[in-house]
Amino acid sequence: MDQKTTVALLELAAKSLLNNEPAAIHALDEIPRDLFVPLFNAAFLGGHKTILRAMVRVWPFRCLHIGSLNTRESYYDILEAMIDGLQILPAQNSSSCKIQQNVGSLHVCCRDLQIDRMSGHKSILQFLDLGCIENLEMDQANLSEVITLLAQVIHLNSLTLCNIPFKTYNRRKFRSFLLCLGRLDHLQELSLSFFCLTDQLHKLLSSQATHLRVLSLSNNHIFSEVYEPFQALLEKVSSTLQHLVINNCMITDSTLSAVIPALSHCTQLHVLSFAFNPITMPVLKSLLQHLTSLMKLKHVIYPVPVHCYEEWIIHDRLDRQKLAEIPYGIKYDRTWLMNSIQRHCRVPFTPVDFHFMQNGARFFVQEASTASALMDVSYKNCDEESQKIPVFVSHSAIPYTVWYKLKPEEMEQLKLTLSKRFDVSQQALDLQRLRLDPDLVGYDIDIILNRRSCMAATLQVIEKYYPE
């Protein structure tokens, strides 16, 4: 009998057992080991939670891999039943988990643990073997919670921390965090985004092992201080670093010029990203020339040189733009968020092109004085959960909604075009293939509705002339 036939017979036997769950559960101590996996698969796919719970208790193999635990998955209640078989509470975060045998019993082992808002997930941690964690991501946890978890992981390869509230920092806690970080001898990937590292970079990097392959420090205004700690780190990891991300870190010409020699010695570098930093063209050229010696470097993401901001000539000309970003701003009402920021800002301003991108809120401002005032607002405003709201400001190119803003004569032509497409009897407006409408193409007007500026212009016409 070939292998396919054997597998098919085992699957048939498993399905037959499931027709009588009480008998199947009673026979678990006697059925052949070869039947356990087909029976488990059939029970899982069929949603037989009772037998799954019983099978976990007598699982005969060293490891039972159950994949990703996620509350959003349709089969989560089945996974929960399996965990109940171990008398353990279910995980509420996304994680890749294994149930492994340990001294004759099974326990939950997470290789990749992702935690959003630590306060909602504390109960599961007491049941996990934290020594198994290899990759840890924590978002919106306080520093004490981070320290507590880091003190128990011993084989961490990757650590990502994001949006750790500033109010949870103090000197003693940060010192404890550095001690925990220094003990991670196997750490190869470190990402600290929106981590409030101002004036702390030298302490952080001096505590860290020098085997990093990936380092991300984006959205930290760390280069307002001296650059020597960062330069020293680059020298230490020059033989291992493959991926460096330092976007929106307020890197200036002088800072970048100082670290160019250290960067040029990072012989393993594959990716370098330093977008949203105020760099001039001469320094950018110098950097790129020095990087040509790095044979493994494949991707460089660099900022638009600052002089380009002032060279673009458009109607209603704006000066060099400043981009304000509020991490996880999407959870706030737009009106409340802007009113709150404007109330705390010492300089009155009008936001340009407010929009949500991924989970964050973004808008542009024109004046340098406004940008400075917005930076002062960061972490001074609290939401309903008493979480301080960060506001990060960086140099930016002209926003697309301004760059592509329609001129008055183009708006008039758009109005005429839409009027021809409006069916009065049906009270309906046909927007299909609008971009290809001859009345627009003939005037060289490019209307792409998934571009925010075009959609805004179209909605403006609709609201004014077709409110019904």
> Taking the model in full, what pTM does it have?
0.56
Q: Is the pLDDT of residue 315 over 70?
A: no
Q: Is the pLDDT of residue 374 over 90?
A: no
Q: Is the pLDDT of residue 86 over 90?
A: no
| Domains annotated on the chain, with CATH | 309-403 (3.30.70.330), 408-465 (no CATH)
What CA–CA distance (Å, rounded) separates 257 from 281?
12
Reading across the β-sheet that carries 360-365, which strands appear in turn?
A: 352-357, 360-365, 321-326, 392-396
- Cα three-residue angle 128-55-95, rounded to 5 degrees: 30
What CA–CA distance (Å, rounded) separates 374 from 380?
10
CB 140 within 8 A of CB 120: no
User: What pLDDT score was predicted for residue 96?
Assistant: 45
CB 187 within 8 A of CB 212: yes
- Dihedral sign computed on CA atoms, order 382, 93, 175, 255: negative
User: What pLDDT score was predicted for residue 244?
Assistant: 93
pLDDT tier for residue 295 given thresholds of 50, 70 and 90: very high
Q: Is the pLDDT of residue 317 over 50?
A: no
pLDDT tier for residue 294 given thresholds of 50, 70 and 90: very high
What CA–CA distance (Å, rounded) separates 79 from 73?
10
pLDDT tier for residue 54 given thresholds of 50, 70 and 90: confident
User: What pLDDT score was predicted for residue 286?
Assistant: 92
Element housing 25 (H / E): helix 21-26
- Residue 256 DSSP SS3: helix
Of 319, 324, 298, 292, the closest CA to residue 308 belongs to 319
Q: Is the pLDDT of residue 85 over 60?
A: yes
Q: Which residue's structure tokens are 């890749």?
A: 96
Q: Is the pLDDT of residue 243 over 90?
A: yes
Report percent pLDDT > 70 for the chain: 73
Helix segments in 390-450, DSSP class H: 400-403, 408-421, 438-441
What rounded mean pLDDT belongs to the chain?
A: 76
C-beta atoms surrounding 259 within 10 Å = 21
DSSP 111-170: EEEEEESGGGSHHHHTTB-GGG--EEEEES--HHHHHHHHTT-SS--EEEEE---GGG--
**Cα separations (Å) of 77 from 46, 50, 80, 180?**
12, 12, 5, 36
Highest mean pLDDT of the ranges 219-233, 248-262, 347-361: 248-262
pLDDT tier for residue 235 given thresholds of 50, 70 and 90: confident
Extract the tokens encoding 448.
């792409």
pLDDT tier for residue 242 given thresholds of 50, 70 and 90: very high
Mean pLDDT (whole number) for 138-158: 85
Extract the tokens encoding 409.
């004569």
What CA–CA distance (Å, rounded) separates 338 from 334?
6
What CA–CA distance (Å, rounded) separates 96 from 135?
10
Mean pLDDT (whole number) for 349-365: 80
pLDDT tier for residue 121 given thresholds of 50, 70 and 90: low
pLDDT tier for residue 197 given thresholds of 50, 70 and 90: low
Q: How many CA atoms lie within 13 A of 267 on its CB side?
A: 1
Extract the tokens encoding 386.
């008493």
Mean pLDDT (whole number) for 182-188: 86
